[in-house]
Structure 1
Amino acid sequence: MSEMIDEYLADKDEKWHEAFIKLYQTIDENIPEGFAFQMQYGMPSYVVPLATFPDGYHCEKDTPLPFLSIAAQKRHIAVYHMGIYADDELLTWFESEYPKHMSTKLNMGKSCIRFTNPKKIPYDLIGELASKVTVEEWMNRYKNSVR
C-alpha cells in the first residue's frame, strides 16, 4: 500500500481505515492510465499531471488538473469525482446504478459521494465509475468547459 495513504490515515479515526484502504485500492486498480496519484488539497488524489496538461487547473497554472480524490472525514468517507460534476450523462448513469448495488439512499453533493457507514460502500460501482473517464476525455471536457 502507498506510504502516502498510511501518512494520510495516521490522524484519522480508526473506524475508517479498512474501508478507506479498500476504496483506494479499488480506485487505483480501475482508474485509466495517465492519471497521477498525489496529495492535492490535503487529500489522496488522482490528477492529470502538468507534463500531460501543462495549462494546469483554473488560475493556478502550477496545479495539476484534479480528477478524483478520496477523504476520510469526521462523519464519512468521501469520493470527490469531478467527472460526475462535469458530465450529466455520467451522473445519470451513476445515480441509476447506485440502487442496483446498495439498499441505502445515495448521499451526494455536486461532485462528492459520501459514505457514512464504512461497511456499506459499493466498491465495484466506485471502481467502475473510476474507470469510465480517460485522461484525454477529462482534459477535453475541462478545456471545453473553461472557454
Structure 2
Amino acid sequence: MKIEATSPEDYISKLPAERQVAVKKIREIINAHIPSGFEETLNYNMIGWVVPQSKYPSGYHCDPKLPLPFLNLASQKNYIALYHFGIYADEKLLKWFISEYKKEVGKNPDMGKSCIRFKNPEIIPYKLIAELTKKMTLEDWINAYEKVTKNSS
C-alpha cells in the first residue's frame, strides 16, 4: 500500500478510517518514548525515525545519501507494520520482545526480520511498543548497526 504524503500527519489522513486511530496512537507512543537524537521523517513512503546525517554522516549503507533508518511505521495492504531495525540487529532485544509480546498478547508476534505485523488493530500491545521504543538509544543503534554491517562486509 503505497501512500504519497508530505508529512506524517498527511500520511495518517490518507489511511482508511479503521487504521487511522491505531497508526496515530503508535506514532504518538513512539514520539513520546523514543530516546533523544532520532528524527521523525517520511522515508520509503512510510513514517520513519532516523539517525540524522548530522549525527551519522555515513548514512544508510544501502544509499549513503539517506539517513540511517531506525523505525518505520506503515499501513500495508493487510496489516499495520512497525519496522524496528534494532530487533533485527540485536538478538537479545528480539528475544526480549518476542517473550514480552507472548506474555501480553498470548501468542507469538507475526514477524519477519525487522517487521512486526499487526493484523488486528484491536490487539496492538501499545505499552509494549512504548517499552520497545525506549530500549535502544541512538548510540546503541549506531553501534549495533555498525557491528552488523561490518560483520557482513
Segments of structure 2 that go 5 or more residues without pairing to the other structure are: 1-5
TM-score (ref. length: structure 1)? 0.93
Q: 1:40 aligned to 2:46?
A: no
1:40-83: CA deviations, max 9, x gaps? Answer: 11110000000000001004221100000000112110000000
Number of the residue aligned with 2:3: none
Q: What is the distance in 2 between the residues matched to 1:26 and 1:37?
A: 13
The correspondence for 2:25, drawn from 19, 22, 34, is: 22
How far 1:104 sits from its partner (Å)?
4.5
Tell me: higher relative CO, structure 1 or 2? Use CA pairs within 8 A at least 6 residues apart.
Answer: 1
Number of the residue aligned with 1:118: 121
Equivalent pair of 1:38/1:46 in contact (CA under 8 Å): yes
Equivalent pair of 1:5/1:21 in contact (CA under 8 Å): no
Q: 1:127 aligned to 2:127?
A: no
Q: What's the Cα RMSD here?
A: 1.3
Correspondence 1:128-147 to 2 at 5 A: 128-147=131-150
How far 1:17 sits from its partner (Å)?
0.4
Q: What is the distance in 1 between the residues matched to 2:132 and 2:60?
A: 22
Number of the residue aligned with 2:56: 53
TM-score (ref. length: structure 2)? 0.90
Q: What is the distance in 2 between the residues matched to 1:59 and 1:4?
A: 23
- Out of 68-77 and 103-112, give the one that drifted further: 103-112
1:19-58: CA deviations, max 9, x gaps? Answer: 1100100111111000000001111000000000000100
Aligned letter for 1:60? D
Identity among equivalent pairs (%)? 46
Q: Identify if the C-alpha distance between structure 1 residues 59 and 20 changes in structure 2 by more than 3 Å, giving closer, same or farther.
A: closer
The correspondence for 1:89, drawn from 79, 89, 92, is: 92
Number of matched pairs: 145
Q: What is the distance in 2 between the residues matched to 1:52 and 1:98?
A: 32
